[in-house]
Structure 1
Amino acid sequence: MKHTQYESEHTKFIKQLKEQTPGMEERQQAGRALLWDKAPLSLDEQRRIDESRIRQQAYVYQTKY
């Protein structure tokens, strides 16, 4: 048996916040696109990035003599 009538306090708060703040979802999506949604890299770009990466030793704080 599902409880379809139940709505948590958190869900109610978010719904109320979205109603009181017009444009909030659009700003959230724009922020996500800015930080996370990246265009795919071409194979040449990926190869160049891989080749230009500096190799790091296994334990970075170990000094070599």
Structure 2
Amino acid sequence: MYESEHTKFIKELKAKTPGMEERQQAGRALLWDKAPVTLDEQRRIAESRIRQQAYVYQNKA
């Protein structure tokens, strides 16, 4: 079965560095995985949001 050089490289890298996948998952959890937000909290966040004018660098003078 054909295996690309890229796939071979990734497999070798994972074999050489144990714990790499765990560190990747921890990093992803730190940056991307968020706790679920309740509907009440979503409503509160939406209500507290301040509307921004269409072109932020233009003054309304």
* Same fold at TM > 0.5: yes
The code of the aligned residue for 2:37 comes to L
CA–CA distance in 1 between the matches of 2:2 and 2:53?
A: 54
Alignment of 1:2-21 (within 5 A): 5-21=1-17
Point out where structure 1 has 5 or more consecutive residues left out of the alignment.
none
CA–CA distance in 1 between the matches of 2:57 and 2:7?
A: 47
CA–CA distance in 2 between the matches of 1:53 and 1:6?
A: 53
SS at match of 2:13: helix
Alpha-carbon RMSD across the aligned residues, in angstroms, is 0.9
Partner of 2:38: 42
Partner of 2:49: 53
What number of residue pairs does the alignment pair up? 61
CA–CA distance in 2 between the matches of 1:31 and 1:52?
A: 30
Q: Identical aligned pairs, as a percentage?
A: 85
Point out where structure 2 has 5 or more consecutive residues left out of the alignment.
none
Partner of 2:24: 28
- Provide the TM-score with structure 1 as the length reference: 0.86
